[in-house]
């Protein structure tokens, strides 16, 4: 069974907000896309850009890599434009009680 990592109470991550959590030696961005909770590794597949510094558009469920401008679909982890072309890992998100949890493996 995959470990579940606590993120924060649901009340602290309202629609349009995001936060980053650390897990072992990498970070995961957790996003509230207008009510849908999504998690994606916080490292661009192109050249290790840090998504936590990039623009997040909840209506599109997309985040921009600030290094070279590729946008990523937070539902699939797939880049939407060059130069990135390799998907980034995504993770299942659940809510237990009021706690948001990310399933990592």
Chain positions contacting ligand FES, by CB under 6 A: 44, 46-47, 49, 65, 67-68, 70, 83-84
User: 19 vs 67, which CB is nearer to ligand FES?
Assistant: 67
Closest distance to ligand FES from the beta carbon of 19 (Å): 20
- Measured between alpha carbons, how far is residue 102 from residues 40, 62, 95 in Å? 10, 19, 9
- The 3-state secondary structure of 16-71, one letter per residue: CCEEEEEECCEEEEEEEECCEEEEEECCCCCCCCCHHHCCEECCCCEEECCCCCCE
Nearer CB in complex with ligand FES: 44/104: 44
- Cβ of residue 27: shortest distance to ligand FES, in angstroms? 15
Minimum distance of ligand FES from residue 70's CB (angstroms): 4
């Amino acid at each position: 069974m995959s470990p579940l990592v606590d993120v924060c109470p649901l009340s602290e991550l309202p629609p349009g907000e995001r936060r980053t959590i650390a897990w072992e030696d990498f970070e995961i961005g957790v996003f509230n896309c207008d009510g849908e909770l999504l998690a994606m590794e916080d490292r661009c597949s192109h050249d290790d850009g840090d998504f936590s510094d990039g623009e997040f558009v909840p209506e599109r469920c997309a985040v921009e890599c600030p290094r070279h401008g590729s946008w990523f679909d937070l539902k699939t982890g797939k880049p939407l434009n060059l130069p990135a072309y390799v998907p980034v890992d995504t993770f299942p998100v659940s809510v237990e009680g009021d706690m948001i949890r990310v399933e990592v493996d």
